[in-house]
Chains A and B, each alone.
Chain A
Amino acid sequence: MPKQIHTISILGAGKLGITIAQLALKAGYRVYIAGSGSEDKIRLSVSILAPGAVPTTTEHAAQMGDIVILALPLGKYRTIPSRKLKEKLVIDAMNYWWEVDGNADALKNPQTSTSEIVQQYLPDARVVKAISHMGYHHLRDEAQAAGAQNRKALAIAGNHRSDVEQVSEFIDRLGFDPLPIGELHNGRQLEPGHAAFGANLSKDSLASLLL
């Protein structure tokens, strides 16, 4: 039996991290959130922008979440506490963005998806790529209850069916139709420069781009 998901931890308290925290709180999850420094640095902004989320350290957040969401700049992935993520279900919501991450050649490798690089860095975690292709302001504006007209979809790429199922249920509760697109490698299709990057589309339209 896969573990029930009650607690979401978000690493990264910027635009995307805060937006995901808002959606997860609304969906009834317990939410921990960590920035790059101490929790005091983000306490005020979290209390106003995502009231109810618990600001904490990266290490503690990594430990507490049933799902741990990576929402930090991809260029900083080596600061993720790998040991704390053993056996954890991890959602990689990061993208390579040269204007923030610099010209990092490894992250530009056209053969590998950036999520596979992250999975290599977190060998004992179960990495699923999701919540990565839609702009953060669309995430905030477009979340809708299941069955709503014009509900938008988020693509999910992961290597294990049960992980993808759990992430699908989470995405659905956040307010989006989940669209599994196969293995983690397929996350490449969601990255900058590929068809689905930036996509703010219904499930059918997104599927026609990807499947």
Chain B
Amino acid sequence: MAHTRAIPSKKILFGIDSFGDIPKDDTEKLMTHAAAIRQVIDEAVLADKLGIDVIALGEHHRSDFAISSPETVLAGIATLTKNIKLASGVTVLSSDDPVRVFERFSTVDALSNGRAQIILGRGSFTESFPLFGYELTDYEVLFEEKLELMAEVLKEKPVTWSGTVRPSLANIDIFPKTESGHIHTSIGVGGSPQSVVRTAKYGFPLMLAIIGGSPDRFIPYVQLYEEAAKQFGTSAKEVGVHSPGFIADSDKEASDTAWPAYKLYHDRIGRTRGWPKVTREQFDREIQHGSLYIGSPETVAKKIARTITLLDVSRFDMVYGFGPLPSKSRLKMIELYGKEVIPLVRKLVDEATKKTT
């Protein structure tokens, strides 16, 4: 396998991602949506103190997730933190307006002194379509056209654009401008080859959402991204991975704490999609061979380091706190991630790089 980038471990970024899952409070009661949002603020502040590079908040419009408006939560985080980058993960562009997306994120960028990031995607949930009056049959054209407009708007110059999904723009300038002249914007992809090609076409960085199965199958996707960029005459940017995980002091504590929350989370979504109920055996197998990064700091660090070197990526975001986990164990997990997992992953990646060079 051709390793074309060989990223030094110091340059690898580590993130935490949330959709605003509702945690349990100290009395085992589910928090309100509002309290769940404030919990994410506390977690972001902690992550900033620990030197974690980025927090990414995804958009959903359903009762089991509190965050439907990520950039509003990011704005709250912005004024309380110093260094952590503030990203969406993802912004469902198909059911949003590119001009509005830019306006909201350039505002977060102002509030945070230039730390705003956007991850655009089509989203694996599509509840925003009926909610905002879009047809699922327009799934492709909505994303295609809006992405084209988004790429123009991000240049921060007057925009001229016309298409079928939104009124055209003739030499229109959009405000506020950012101080750097650029909002870091990636595309989140779940495994559709055409989405990888499209990301390369616009020269956006690529975030691979690997939420089940072994990460190994994404090796050719990274290659596809680089080859496609060559063919389009754009440049391949950084590639990152987003996968779910949970960390506790020991492997047993981590999986025993995560399992009931994971089961509730999985089975609730499964009911609407027709999946059967998940078994403990499947959960354990996904930890062993798949894309659940659950265990002690050492176990999780080894698994992350393997994925980073295998796919040669420069960013790893862990989706934390899926399902109704205790709020305290979410904070503990972030502390372990920042203090123990990240330094160990860097060490392991350096060792692996030395071996191959």
Contact = CB atoms under 8 A, between A and B. Distances in A.
B217 A44 contact: no
Interface in B190-243: 191-194, 196-197, 212-214, 217, 220-221, 223-224, 227-228, 231
B270 to A, nearest CB: 8
A198 B224 CA distance: 28
Contacts of A138: 213
Interface in A79-107: 95, 97, 99-102
Nearest to A95: B274
Nearest to B135: A102
B227 A44 contact: yes
Given A42-B193, A100-B139, A138-B213, A198 B276 contact: yes
Interface string A42-83: 101100110000000000000000000000000100000000
B275 interface: yes
B273 interface: yes
Contact of A14 (B136, B137, B193, B223): B193
B125 interface: yes
B61 interface: no
Nearest to B278: A198
A191 B231 CA distance: 40
Given A102-B137, A193-B274, A49 B212 contact: no
Contacts of B223: 48
Nearest to A140: B217
Given A45-B197, A140-B213, A195-B276, A99 B227 contact: no
Interface in A157-206: 191-200
A199 B212 contact: no
Contacts of B221: 49
A35 B137 CA distance: 17
B289 interface: yes
A45 B274 contact: no
Interface residues of A, number: 34
Contacts of B309: none
Interface in B124-144: 124-126, 135-137, 139
Contact of B213 (A45, A48, A137): A137
Given A48-B224, A102-B135, A13 B213 contact: no
Interface in A25-49: 35, 41-42, 44-45, 48-49
B136 A102 contact: yes
Contacts of A197: 274-276
Contact of B212 (A18, A135, A191): A135
B217 A99 contact: no
A15 B273 contact: no
A48 B220 contact: yes
A137 B228 CA distance: 23
A94 B118 CA distance: 33
B193 A192 contact: no
- The size bracket of the interface on B is 20 to 34
B335 to A, nearest CB: 32
Nearest to B221: A49
A38 B126 CA distance: 27
A113 to B, nearest CB: 14
A65 to B, nearest CB: 20
A101 B231 CA distance: 32
B281 to A, nearest CB: 10
B263 to A, nearest CB: 14
Contact of A192 (B126, B139, B274): B274
B193 A18 contact: yes
A191 B135 CA distance: 24
A132 B17 CA distance: 31
A101 B273 CA distance: 12
Given A45-B194, A45-B196, A48-B220, A97 B213 contact: no
A41 B289 CA distance: 33
Given A44-B227, A140-B213, A14 B192 contact: yes
A94 to B, nearest CB: 13
Given A137-B214, A197-B274, 20 more contacts: A15-B191, A44-B227, A45-B193, A45-B228, A48-B227, A49-B193, A49-B224, A95-B274, A97-B273, A99-B124, A100-B136, A102-B137, A136-B191, A140-B213, A141-B213, A141-B289, A192-B273, A198-B270, A199-B276, A200-B282
15 contacts: A15-B191, A35-B194, A44-B231, A45-B193, A45-B197, A48-B224, A49-B221, A99-B126, A137-B217, A140-B217, A141-B217, A192-B274, A197-B275, A198-B270, A198-B275
Interface of A: 13-15, 18, 35, 41-42, 44-45, 48-49, 75, 95, 97, 99-102, 135-138, 140-141, 191-200
Interface of B: 124-126, 135-137, 139, 191-194, 196-197, 212-214, 217, 220-221, 223-224, 227-228, 231, 270, 273-276, 282, 289
